[in-house]
Amino acid sequence: MTNPPSQFTPEELQQWQLAIAEADRHNIWCHCRQCDAEWVASTPVNCPDCGSDRVERISCWQFPDD
């Protein structure tokens, strides 16, 4: 099985991957499984409301911009 041709040049692909990695690092949607608080953070942190470490983290770039 072969890969389909890329729509990007190697340089464009690298730039795109770096942009996604940057968004990933700085925009993380967090949801506390203990007290149900929600917030956006740039690093993994415990819940600011209750201090719990039971936090679900999802990169914000995965959400649509509607």
**pLDDT, the chain, mean:** 85
Q: Report domain extents, the chain.
A: 28-66
Q: Give the Cβ contact number of residue 11 at 10 Å.
A: 8
Residue with tokens 């389909």: 4
pLDDT digits (tens, 9 = 90+) for 23-42: 767 788 999 999 999 999 88
Question: How far apart, in whole angstroms, are the C-alpha atoms of residue 13 and residue 20?
Answer: 11
Structure tokens at 26: 């700085």
What pTM, to 2 d.p., does this model score? 0.60
The two counts, helices (H) then strands (E), for the chain are 1, 3
